[in-house]
Amino acid sequence: MATHQLQRGYIVVLEERCKGCELCVPACPEDILLMGRRTNHSGWNLVETQNMEKCIACNLCALICPDRAIDVYRFDKPLKVEIEETASV
């Protein structure tokens, strides 16, 4: 069965600006950001995203980033997204 959630926005990480400082990771109230293993051309570890459908476009990640490496986009109207439910054991 599918569940529905309202997505309010999404972010784009400008990878060549990211220096892997990790400040944005705990700043996100929805746990969307995490450090990955990929690196940019300067050799910094890149922040990555997960579960983007949970983004509430609060802008906290962009505000805390010292390198202005995150752009936040807010939808005019929240989108309804379908999410696959996983069975609990």
Residue 79 CA to residue 82 CA, distance in Å, equals: 10
In the stretch 46-85, what mask flags binding to ligand SF4 with x, by CB under 6 A?
Answer: -x-------xxxxxxx--xx-x-xx-x-------------
Helix (H, G, I), strand (E, B) or coil at 16: coil
What are the structure tokens assigned to 19, written together? 């220096």
Nearest distance, CB of residue 56 and ligand SF4, angstroms: 5
Distance CA 57, CA 42 (A): 28
Residues at the interface with ligand SF4 (CB under 6 A)? 11, 13, 18-24, 27-28, 30, 32-33, 47, 55-61, 64-65, 67, 69-70, 72
